[in-house]
Amino acid sequence: MSETQNILWIHGGRVIDPANNRDESADLYAVDGILVDALSDAQKAAARKVDATGQVVAPGLVDIHVHFRDPGQTHKESIQSGSEAAAAGGYTSVVCMPNTNPVCDNAGTIQRIVDTVRRSAVIRVYTTGCLTIGMNGEQLAPTGQLKEAGIVAVTDDGKCVQSNEIMRRAVEYAHMFDLPVMDHCQDASLTEGAVMNEGEWSLKLGLRGWPKAAEDIIVARNVILAELTGAHIHMQHVSSAASVDILRRAIARGIRVSGEASPHHIEFTDACLEDYDTLYKMNPPLRTEADREALIEGLCDGTLACIATDHAPHSPTEKDQEFDYAPFGIIGLENALASTLETLYHSKRCSLSQVIALMTHKGAELCKLNAGTLSAGAPADICILDPDEAWTVDPEKFFSRSRNCPWSGRSLRGRVKGTYVAGRQVFDGNAITV
């Protein structure tokens, strides 16, 4: 045995690894950042032992939709602060969106982000590239160059390509390079000036309504384009019951489409806006109870592939203004596990293993990440959690630089007790440890 080996031995826990249909009381071992089936006696003697008695040992969580605002708006979030927030939430791999300043439509910006990640991130941070130059929906971005620079997907998230012709060519181009296309599904002609879901509450509050059809039309378009091109198109932050139904029918026909739901869309509805609280202003907007139920059903039956936070930090001064003028978006990494457990597991809608699957290997597989599993030979990226421990959300204690969290003051069940990346502890349940 090498004297320099870094050996981890997590014992006494309930190991849940949905990718391998594993749910059992067992020990977990890692050597030099890689999971192994067993340790020798000498390795056990040298190992760092972690007692996980009464806790769940799961793969590190994976989020394929976050905004870290770096470069350009690091007063809201930086790669360092965002990665620390993710680690505190049990995440070991995240995928950043390209709507930075400048946007990620060239290899130079991607390289800048990759270099910053190498210097500052405490977890694995991946980046995406733009579908179109400047995210303007008019000219295709150099997808091949972006892939060589290290992206894992292409998207104009924050905007939606409105031209069906340009979207078709972008999808074909991405397919050539074996990259998934992630799409923010929004027909802009139906949402100009809109700030919340169109319906009973928008009428009561006198706010410009955002029809669900604006999402449904683009989801349907993307299904058609995926069938035409054979490409994989992933629908981001699905919010509409009709969109879930469109995806369900397309998947049954074997079309390469997928979708994600966000923790806020499966817990909150547009009724939460009754006091004009801008913490509930997001894009797409919170929908009705019927939509919320459809999203949960879609997650439980596999129509929606994964949970993604759409972590979108904004400064307090930006959110603290008239509802019409406040920016869309909320943060979610540090409470996503607990809020999802409350909505899906503690409500008995899904098993604990199902929830962990939605937050680990299913998202990783969409972006072809080497993450989300506890298989021998995989990176030792691990989340230790207590699914029943209650805690009160206090954004002032978050590692994120922003505080725009609608769960503030809420009591949630499900607490991260430790996060490990490549076998090294990065969060101990209270503090960042690297």
Domain limits, the chain:
7-57+380-427, 61-366
4 — pLDDT class (breaks 50, 70, 90): low
5 — pLDDT class (breaks 50, 70, 90): confident
| Reported pTM | 0.97
Mean pLDDT over residues 160-168, rounded?
A: 98
Query: Can you list the alpha helix ranges (DSSP code H) found in 121-199?
Result: 143-149, 164-176
The pLDDT assigned to 2 comes to: 46
Q: Are 287 and 265 in contact (CB under 8 A)?
A: yes
Catalytic annotation on 115? Answer: no
Q: How far apart are CA 309 and CA 66, in angstroms?
A: 7
Determine whether domain 61-366 maps to CATH 3.30.2350.10: no
The CATH number corresponding to 7-57+380-427 among 3.30.460.10, 2.30.40.10, 3.30.420.10, 3.50.50.60 equals: 2.30.40.10
Mean pLDDT over residues 124-150, rounded?
A: 98
Q: Are 290 and 308 in contact (CB under 8 A)?
A: no
Query: Can you list the alpha helix ranges (DSSP code H) found in 200-288?
Result: 200-205, 213-229, 241-252
DSSP secondary-structure letter at 136?
Answer: -
pLDDT, tens digit (0-9, with 9 covering 90-100), for 276-324 = 999 999 999 999 999 999 999 999 999 999 999 999 999 999 999 999 9
Percent of the chain residues past pLDDT 70, beyond the cut: 99
Whether pLDDT at 106 is above 90? yes
Q: How far apart are CA 176 and CA 229, in angstroms?
A: 10
- CA dihedral 12→18→19→20, nearest 10 degrees, is 60
Given the residues 63, 70, 216, 310, select the one marked as catalytic. 310
pLDDT, tens digit (0-9, with 9 covering 90-100), for 312-335 = 999 999 999 999 999 999 999 999
Whether pLDDT at 356 is above 80? yes
Angle at 369 between CA 364 and CA 374, to 5 degrees: 70
Query: Cα dihedral sign for 433, 93, 353, 259?
Result: positive
